[in-house]
Amino acid sequence: MENRVQHPDWKNFEGIYKSLVDVWMLYDNSGEKPLLIDAGGKK
């Protein structure tokens, strides 16, 4: 998520929860179909 103002919820995800999950996916669901914006996981 480059060049975006970081919302407090995103900061919590990055700082706390991201390391706790095996796989994560971020979708923009503002349109008719969800759009995958970013994804990642443990390597």
Long-range contacts of 12-19 (CB under 8 A, 24+ apart): none
Long-range contacts of 20-26 (CB under 8 A, 24+ apart): 26/1
Boundaries of every domain in the chain: 8-41
Mean pLDDT of 34-43: 91
User: Tens digits of per-residue pLDDT, 12-36?
Assistant: 988 999 989 999 999 999 999 999 9
Indicate whether this model's pTM tops 0.85: no
pLDDT at residue number 3:
53
**Whether 25 contacts 39, CB under 8 Å:** yes
Long-range contacts of 14-23 (CB under 8 A, 24+ apart): none
pLDDT at residue number 4:
60
Phi, psi of 14 (to 5 degrees): -60, -45
Please report which confidence band the pLDDT of residue 10 belongs to, taking 50, 70 and 90 as the band edges. Answer: confident
More confident residue, 35 or 1: 35
